[in-house]
Amino acid sequence: MDKVERLLKLTATLLHTARPLTAEELRERVQGYPERDDAFHRAFERDKQALRDMGIPISVEPIPFRDPPAEGYRIHPGDYRLPDPGLEPDELAALNLALSAVRVEGVEGVEALWKLGGQVGGGAEHVAELPSEPALIPLFGAVVECRPVTFAYRSGERVRTRTIDPYRLDFQLGHWYVLGRDHARDEQRRFRVDRIVGPVDVGDPDSFERLPPSDDELARPWDYGDEDLVEVRLLVDAEQAGWARRYLGPDVATEERADGSVVFTVPVRNWPPFRSFVLTFLDHAVVLGPPACRAAMVEWLHQLADVAS
Amino acid sequence: MTRLSATSRLRRLLALIPWVIAQRDGAPVEEVCRRFGLSRDALERELNLLWMVGVYPYTPHELIDWEIDADDRLHIYLADWFKRPLRLTPDQALALVVTGRSLASVPGADPDGALARGIAKVASVLQIDPATVEVDLGEAEDTTLELLRTAVSERRKVELRYYSYGRDVHTRRVVDPWRLFARSGQWYLEGYCEQSGARRTFRVDRIDAAGLLDEPIGQPPPEDPVPSFAPDPTAPRVVLELRPGARWVIDEYPVEEYVELGGGAVRVRLAVTARAWFERLLLRLGPDARVVEVPDDLADAGAKAAQRILARYAES
């Protein structure tokens, strides 16, 4: 018998029953299982796993009034069913186009479409692919249901445990971030999802009120830090000034010189990431001030320049 | 039709049955095939599985029944327990919301369009606030992206002033634009570049200026998919030893091999696609990196670059 047929029968039986059924009862009611006991149990375990992997919620419950006590299986229809979103044909077609244009790595969008009414219209050109991280799905569930999460987080060389109330997931500059209130610091923080190490522990639903995230603009790496804010003046040559202006924003371009070069005045709280940023311009940018930052850059460069010569 | 696993076929059937039941007066067979990606033969084979599906004690009125009527419409009866589709799994819900939010962030998206309405409806039955996910596919000037999108759809040439980051030079190019796509937080334009006489990929945020030309494109877009970013197999390789503070290199760069050296230090192997790229890497790493293996012509790359920059500091 086709395996699909047996899985369909098992699903129908588990959905239809008003009380939990034991494995033996299911063996009797669902045709297509092997005769031998051990082979039946192996096949039944595999089927249960296959249905659960599809997202079918099989619950395991004690069978009432049974002596000796035993556990049985059923599917509660309310857990199984997708409420009808009432999509209009054009809306379904738009979702279809969108799912073929944007892919989340490792997630099969077509099955979501089947559930919503099938594929309508042609597929679109593949426009974007977003990476997926193991922690992403549990974090998404936690954001939606307002569950606190605890995870190990790698920052530099250290791995520390953090507990946060997650408010939002952001995809920016090629990385996923989770934004939320850090319990230990009692303030909003942003964490890179690919730096979460190991599993995410998820707490109880409705544990917090989701607040609008406070920083809507993505902070640059040199905005994070506990050092005093320093206004660094950076001269960028004419050729690179356009790109620098797009990246840093027009607000910090404080002086345009006759040769087309531009001076940017950038607030910096964390020097090493800003130093890295300046160095990506190679010899097309110079730190003008303050003197301590200029000296730090010159000293850094000397360490490299003096090795070979 | 591609061969699907048993569970994929089951998923499709569990979605197909409720859709057919929801259609008044049956569903046109052709329409069912189109929506669910089945040939007519394949559909009938799947439906034949249903004949014996029912619930205990399998009296005839407990069995699913189906027929295709004279108007070629499919009817499915007595499948009440499959009347609604299976709820979306969390990853499917995430895919839908991310997709919707991604396209909403693209310039020119209609905030009240069919996609926005569809996402809002799905999010509402799933009790998800779509604002819990924010997606920015890439940093690029909206005007440049719009111009390139127009050029791709109207199949017109564009003229670009482009900064080649790897070689650290600005050039002027005329390009047949083929497609725009986003990867890893950046928008890219793929097309045929007249100056290099070959297919090229341009990062949109490095386009300093773009102009739409009246001339139609000369080379049609090829059928093959978006190029991959795997490093050129013939590019030279370098081996670096990194102190613990430089472990970010493993996250940020396509590291081909890495060996833990204890205490957080690590040895990595990387492909060097261009000299300027390697210079920047060494400049950023500074004393946190030691070059262990390098081709002769790149041996002094870090020192030479640092000396060039220091010369700028000496003059201003």
**Concatenated DSSP letters for chain A?**
--HHHHHHHHHHHHHH-SS-B-HHHHHHHSTT--SSHHHHHHHHHHHHHHHHHTT---EEEEPTT-SS--EEEE--HHHHBPPP----HHHHHHHHHHHHHEEETT--HHHHHHHHT---SPPPP--EEE---TTHHHHHHHHHHT--EEEEEEETTEEEEEEEEEEEEEEETTEEEEEEEETTTTEEEEEEGGGEEEEEEE--TT-SPPPPPS--SPPPGGG-SSSPPEEEEEEE-HHHHHHHHHHH-GGGEEEE-TTS-EEEEEEES-HHHHHHHHHTTGGGEEEEE-HHHHHHHHHHHHHHHHHH-
B84 and A304: CB-CB below 8 Å? no
* pLDDT for the residue numbered A54: 87
The residue type found at B192 is Y
Flag if A280 and B282 touch (Cβ within 8 Å): no
Q: Which of A135, A212, A130, A147 is nearest to A178 (CA)?
A: A135
Query: CB–CB of A307 and B100 under 8 A?
Result: no
Q: What percent of chain A has pLDDT over 70?
A: 93
Name the residue type at position B76: I
B70 min Cα distance to partner chain A (Å): 24
AA identity, residue A73: Y
CA closest to B167 among chain A residues: A282
Q: What is the pLDDT of residue B233?
A: 73
> Residue A70: phi, psi to the nearest 5?
-150, 165
Q: Can you tell me whether residue B279 is helix, strand or coil? A: helix
Q: How many of the other CB atoms lie within 10 Å of CB of A113? A: 25
Of B181, B204, B115, give the one whose Cα is nearest residue A97.
Answer: B115
- Structure-block tokens of residue A276: 């890295």
Q: Chain A to chain B, count of Cβ pairs less than 8 Å apart?
A: 332
For the cut 90, the answer to whether the pLDDT of residue A74 exceeds it is: yes
Q: How far apart are CA A192 and CA A24, in angstroms?
A: 48
Alpha-carbon separation of residue A95 from A122, B96, B114 (angstroms): 11, 8, 8
Question: Which residues contact residue B233 at a Cβ distance below 8 angstroms, ignoring those fewer than 6 apart?
Answer: none
Ranges of residues in chain B with a pLDDT under 70 are 1-3, 58-61, 107-108, 224-231, 316
Query: Given an 8 Å threshold on Cβ–Cβ distance, is A168 in contact with B37?
Result: no
Identify all chain B residues contacting A114, using CB atoms and an 8 Å cutoff: 11-12, 15-16, 36, 85
Nearest-angstrom CA–CA distance, B69 and B59: 24
Instruction: Provide the phi-psi class of B231: left if phi over 0, else alpha when psi is between -120 and 50, else beta.
Output: beta
Of B96, B127, B316, the CB nearest to A95: B96
**Predicted local confidence at residue B1, as pLDDT:** 42
**CA-CA distance, B205 to B273, in Å (whole number)?**
20
A239 at B interface, C-beta within 8 A: yes
pTM here? 0.74
- The verdict on B277 touching A (C-beta cutoff 8 Å) is no
Tokens of A188: 């909003």
Whether residues B19 and A235 touch (CB distance < 8 A) is answered with no
Query: How far is Cα A243 from Cα B186, in angstroms, rounded to an integer?
Result: 14
**What pLDDT, on a 0 to 100 scale, did the predictor assign at position B225?**
58
Write out pLDDT tens, residues A241-252. 888 888 887 788
Rounded Cα–Cα distance for residues B292 and B257 (Å):
14
A86 vs B121, B279, B307: nearest CB = B121
Chain B residues lying within 8 Å of A275, measured CB to CB: 284
CB contact under 8 A, A168 and B132: yes
Mean pLDDT of A34-59: 92
| Residues linked to residue B180 through DSSP beta bridges, in sequence order | B189
Distance from CA of A270 to the nearest CA of B (A): 15
Question: What is the rounded distance in angstroms from the CA atom of residue A239 to the CA atom of residue B204?
Answer: 16
Between these two residues, A298 and B141, which has the higher pLDDT value? A298
Phi then psi for A49, rounded to 5 degrees?
-65, -40
Give me the residues paired with residue B77 across strands.
B65
- Confirm or reject contact between B10 and chain A (CB < 8 A): yes
The answer to whether A244 faces chain B, any CB pair under 8 Å, is no
- Whether residue A71 contacts residue A59, with contact meaning beta carbons closer than 8 Å, is answered with no
Q: Are strands B198-203 and B186-193 parallel, antiparallel or unpaired?
A: antiparallel
Q: What is the pLDDT of residues A13-22, one digit of tens each?
A: 999 888 899 9
CB within 8 Å of A113: residues ≥ 6 apart? A92, A95, A96, A99, A119
Give me the amino acid identity at B181: F
Read off the pLDDT band of A161 (50, 70, 90). very high
ipTM: 0.71
Query: Which of A:141-200 have CB within 8 Å of B?
Result: 141, 143-144, 156-157, 167-175, 194-195
B52 CB-near residues (< 8 Å, 6+ apart): A5, A9, A31, B63
> Is residue A122 over pLDDT 70?
no
pLDDT of residue B94: 84
Most B CBs within 10 Å: which of A171, A194, A200, A224, as the mutation test of the B interface? A171
Intra-chain end-to-end CA distance of chain B, in Å: 67
Q: What is the structure's pLDDT at A14? A: 92
DSSP code of residue B289:
E
Question: Cα separations (Å) of A179 from A50, A105, A140, A145, A167?
Answer: 34, 21, 11, 15, 6
pLDDT tens, residue by residue, A203-240: 998 898 887 766 555 567 787 766 778 999 999 999 88
Looking at chain B, which residue has its C-alpha nearest residue A128? B182
Is pLDDT above 50 for A286?
yes
